[in-house]
Amino acid sequence: MRRLLLAFAAALSAACAGPAIGGDTSSLKTPHRFDALLERVERATAKHGLGVVAMASASRGAAARGVKIPGNAVVMVFRNDLAVRLLAASVPAGIEAPLRIYVTENADGTASLHYRAPSGVFAPYRHPEVARIARELDAILARIVNDAAGG
């Protein structure tokens, strides 16, 4: 009975993971310090036609409580016209927007970028228009990341 319950729990856990797990995470170490890289991501996002929708940072939250941890921030990016197209094609795919770029501080004082390719994020929805939007976003996100990471 215990094995059956464990198997059921594992299957339920896998089923609940759903499409949000789609896509592999790419990482890119940069020569920039954390705060500088975060600013570069914001500038590159605007330069390449997306907007910063929100930002979440555990390190800034910890600092507000007097706790020091390595810098980290999730920068959430998207654009409204793409959101409208995405939702017209697939309301469930809307949970994947905004896309996330994760900036982390390395032990040597530099910072890294981490992100999932939109084509991987949106692949589980198997809709031709969602796939088209994802390919557009692949190119845009790659330009943002490369621009932010550059010298």
d(CA 45, CA 142) in angstroms, rounded, equals 10
The phi and psi torsions of 110 (rounded to 5 degrees) equal -85, 180
pLDDT score of 58? 98
Tens of pLDDT, residue by residue over 79-119, are 999 999 999 999 999 999 999 999 999 999 999 999 999 99
Instruction: Provide the CATH number for the domain around residue 28.
Output: 3.30.310.70
Evaluate the omega torsion of the peptide bond into residue 98 and state whether it is cis, within 30 degrees of 0: yes
Contact 116, 27 (CB under 8 A): no
Mean pLDDT of 116-141: 98
- The helix/strand/coil state of 105 is strand
pLDDT score of 7? 35
pLDDT at 150 over 70: yes
If one counts the domains in the chain, the total is 1
pLDDT at 8 over 50: no
**Averaged confidence pLDDT in the chain:** 88
pLDDT at 19 over 80: no
Q: Which amino acid is at 116?
A: R
Tens of pLDDT, residue by residue over 24-39, are 899 999 999 999 999 9
Which is it for strands 72-78 and 111-116: parallel, antiparallel or unpaired?
unpaired
The burial class, CB within 10 Å (0-12 / 13-18 / 19+), for 131 is middle
Q: What DSSP character marks residue 32? A: S
pLDDT score of 30? 98
- Domain range for residue 89? 2-149
Measuring CA to CA, which residue among 103, 102, 101, 99 is closest to residue 35?
A: 103
